[in-house]
Structure 1
């Protein structure tokens, strides 16, 4: 499998080179040169998540240095569950509730654990050494940084530098970003997520800086992040199709579009997935694009669903690289509706959702009855609600207990650096 740039001005590379580089030399994002085609029968003997991951991802890493290590990478990266929980009630009980696909049972309580663990195990398989450290430079709107820090800790031949926006993430998220041991470094940036993301892109676009520090990415712009994320969508879709005879619809809370693009790509490869609906917060870039056909990035807006506070989603470039019509619709949900849905879901089903999951649940309830009844719908639950206790607990009137893995995070000491939004400042951080 070879990879091409979305901008068409860079040489073809194999999966190992694409993973090392993060971004193509022309500034584009890497895409598979051609997509494999699967049928449901191709996965009939892979009932567990690691086995399905190895089968699904094998063509994408064929003829690369990762190929032979792929089964062991998947076994290690996908060693926690992603249960599918049916919700019994809706507003009027006229149609069945959706299934909640809980993607937050990894070590940092977020769906990013799947991709981050895969990515760093893939780096180890590429044979990085302390003589030539790979610097993983990542911007985070909340959960990516924690997952990257956890996955990077103790991995030989890598260091991780995590940029996060000051005052724009939850207190727990900030502690989780800043608690990992070297070679992980957290940097608080005096700007929003888009400013952090722009710094990362500027660093990659500076050939001398990128070469000097052997930069690569752990954002969903990396093929090592979004490709493994296809796995849990495929598992859920295969299971629901086997149960009902109809491919399920997916409702995916999204910010930078990596998780949603993983589902789009899985469907393009033949996985039985029905309509894909994007749930966004008050940041209107994607909903305006879907309504008008015109894409226009803009500054992000702070919301309760802060991990989705993205005004210029990087993976739109990948979505635009595919034929139109990949997304059924995009629904924008404001903070008041998020809080109302958190409360209603708790009252009706005793289910506690995080703000991002509540955004997707509210989106489900905006679909008309015929749409809801036509198929099973799966909601992507992207983070454990305890990470957003300051938002969730006042709404539901109940304490949200931390799972053991997240309790352990609070026992760690937090540390971080501070910087502005200028590239020379980032160059100084990388040089230390």
Structure 2
């Protein structure tokens, strides 16, 4: 299989080259030049995430040094569950897909662990070091840091916006040992994302540091994210005979795009509804058909504070992909939904998960009755205790894996939100 740029001005490459490059030389994003035809019967015969991933992702590695390695990579990367739970015992039409049972308590663990295991499978070593450059609005950086810690031949540099993430998130971004480094940027997430794009566009800088990406601009993030949507939809379809609808909290569109790609591959997925916070870019695009990037605004669902979602370029490049609805959920509605769900069912949702629950609540009665629905739960609520606890009126305990993070030493550097400042930071490698 070959991967091509959404802008069509860069050479087509195999999977290994796309993973190492992160983004094409023309500034676009990689997509398969043609989606493979999957045998749905073979997918249905699998059990668990790793088994499905090994079968489903194998064609995407064809023709590259990674060919035949999908089963082993998935077995190692997907070593934690993604359970479907029913928050309301009286409503069997809605299930929540909990994607936060990995080591850093967020759905980004799937993509980060998969990507770094691909690097390892490619024989990435000290003689061919690469720099994984990642912008984060909260959860991606923690997952990348955890996946990269101690990995030889790879440097992970995490950019995050100063004052725009929770205290726990910041600690989790800055607690990893070399080769992981954290840069606290003056600006918002879009500033961080723009710095990463500018670094890739600077051919000399990119070559000097062998830059690659672990953001959802990397095709290595999208491929594994397809697997959990596929697993959940296959399981629900097998039980009900109906294609479930998906309600997906989204900011940069990576998680949503993965679901849309899975549907294009023939998985039994019904309508896809996107839930955003108060940032209006996607809701306005869906309502008007016109895409207009804008500065992001800060919300309590901060991992989705994106005004210029990078993956929109991929969405626009998929002729058959369609989003059935986009629901914009402001902070007041997020708090109200968290409170109502907790009081009625005892289920504790993080602010991002609450956007999906609110979007589902806004569906018409007919849409709810027509099919089962799956809402994505993207992060453990304890990561946002400062928001969640005042709403539900009780403490949210950190699971053991996350609690251990607080005992780690923090290492971070502050930089202005300029390309020159990032280039200077990349020149100075922190080793302890």
Q: Same fold (TM over 0.5)?
A: yes
1:130-186 Cα offsets, whole Å, 9 max, x none, are: 122110000000000000000001112101000000000000000000000010000
TM-superposed deviation, 1:97: 4.6
1:346-388 Cα offsets, whole Å, 9 max, x none, are: 0111000000000000000110100011100000000000000
SS at match of 1:138: strand
Q: Does 1:285 align with 2:281?
A: yes
TM-superposed deviation, 1:63: 1.4
TM-superposed deviation, 1:96: 4.5
Distance 2:39 2:292 in 1: 36
Distance 1:145 1:14 in 2: 26
Q: Does 1:50 align with 2:46?
A: no
Distance 2:320 2:282 in 1: 14
Distance 1:125 1:381 in 2: 30
Q: Does 1:80 align with 2:76?
A: no
In structure 1, runs of 5+ residues without a counterpart are: none
Contact kept, 8 Å, 2:245 with 2:374, in 1: the verdict is yes
Pairs aligned (count) = 428
Contact kept, 8 Å, 1:38 with 1:271, in 2: the verdict is no
RMSD of aligned Cα (Å)? 1.0
Aligned to 1:122: 118
TM-superposed deviation, 1:37: 2.2
TM-superposed deviation, 1:70: 2.0
SS at match of 2:131: strand
Change (3 A) 1:228 1:325: closer
Contact kept, 8 Å, 1:40 with 1:272, in 2: the verdict is no
TM-superposed deviation, 1:86: 1.1
Aligned to 1:393: 389
Contact kept, 8 Å, 1:84 with 1:236, in 2: the verdict is yes
Distance 1:157 1:325 in 2: 37
Structure 1 length as normaliser, TM-score? 0.98
Aligned to 1:374: 370
Aligned to 2:149: 153
Distance 2:128 2:42 in 1: 39
Contact kept, 8 Å, 2:260 with 2:321, in 1: the verdict is no
Contact kept, 8 Å, 1:251 with 1:360, in 2: the verdict is yes
191-200 vs 96-105, greater mean Cα deviation: 96-105
Aligned to 1:181: 177
Distance 2:193 2:51 in 1: 34
1:382-417 Cα offsets, whole Å, 9 max, x none, are: 000000000000000011010010011111011100
Contact kept, 8 Å, 1:237 with 1:272, in 2: the verdict is yes
Q: Does 1:107 align with 2:117?
A: no
- Select the residue among 414, 419, 427 that pairs with 1:418: 414
Contact kept, 8 Å, 2:82 with 2:101, in 1: the verdict is yes
- Select the residue among 261, 264, 289 that pairs with 1:265: 261
Distance 1:404 1:146 in 2: 16
Aligned to 1:194: 190
TM-superposed deviation, 1:39: 4.7
Q: Does 1:169 align with 2:199?
A: no
List structure 1 segments (4+ residues) > 3 angstroms apart after TM superposition. Answer: none
Distance 1:430 1:375 in 2: 50
Aligned to 1:19: 19
1:173-230 Cα offsets, whole Å, 9 max, x none, are: 0000000001000000000000000000000000000000000000001011011100
5 Å-filtered alignment, 1:283-362, equals 283-323=279-319, 326-362=322-358
- Select the residue among 139, 143, 155 that pairs with 2:139: 143
Distance 1:183 1:87 in 2: 40
Distance 1:45 1:291 in 2: 40
Distance 1:247 1:70 in 2: 27
SS at match of 2:127: helix
TM-superposed deviation, 1:87: 2.6
